[in-house]
Chain A
């Protein structure tokens, strides 16, 4: 199920608290930042079929949708840590 705007607001709040705590310079206004959240949510929703197709058939049928997203999240988290 697609992430709702309300859920995005919660993610946005956490993100802003995080960059405030670390005093990270930025140039985005709140509306611009939230537009980014929405665009990413829409992109994820739109590309779910191709994401699913990219997984080899055996794993595609064996893994639940939640497990597939967990794998994706782990890869993205590692990408962030790699810089």
Chain B
């Protein structure tokens, strides 16, 4: 418990049924250009993405989700994007077709001063009943453009391959 160690295998992102954030790439600047895979979150409409995660070596105490985001337009450091998440624990006793109400918590991240640069975010998610080794949880992430902190113009980009899940 509270080890701070990586405790999850992260699966491929899964679009939600509606208001889904969209996959995109940032094109690198090398002679043969790189492709950085990102998820675009709209600046005016709340959009969501699901990420399945299998817990491994998890000893309880909740998780910390961290990663990197960047912005496609803004250049001032006085702006922020609000990144939020919640989880659904998919135990064998949980029928995924039943209703689950997500309760989002998150963090407000300052826009980097230069377009193209990314910022690190981190947020804690409390332990929930059923979270244990080998259990799959769905991490649902969103940007909340209606949040009082969220004033950054344009898309916010979540770097898919930067996601990390650790024990708190």
Contact = CB atoms under 8 A, between A and B. Distances in A.
Given A19-B154, A20-B154, A27 B44 contact: no
User: DSSP class of A's interface residues: helix, strand, loop or mixed?
Assistant: helix
A57 interface: no
Contacts of A24: 73
Interface residues of B, number: 20
Interface stretch (A8-16, A39-47, A62-70, A73-81): A8-16
A10 to B, nearest CB: 9
Interface of A: 9, 12-13, 16-17, 19-21, 23-31, 33
22 contacts: A13-B42, A13-B43, A16-B73, A16-B155, A17-B155, A19-B154, A20-B43, A20-B73, A21-B72, A23-B72, A23-B115, A25-B74, A25-B115, A26-B75, A29-B74, A30-B43, A30-B145, A30-B151, A30-B152, A30-B153, A31-B151, A33-B153
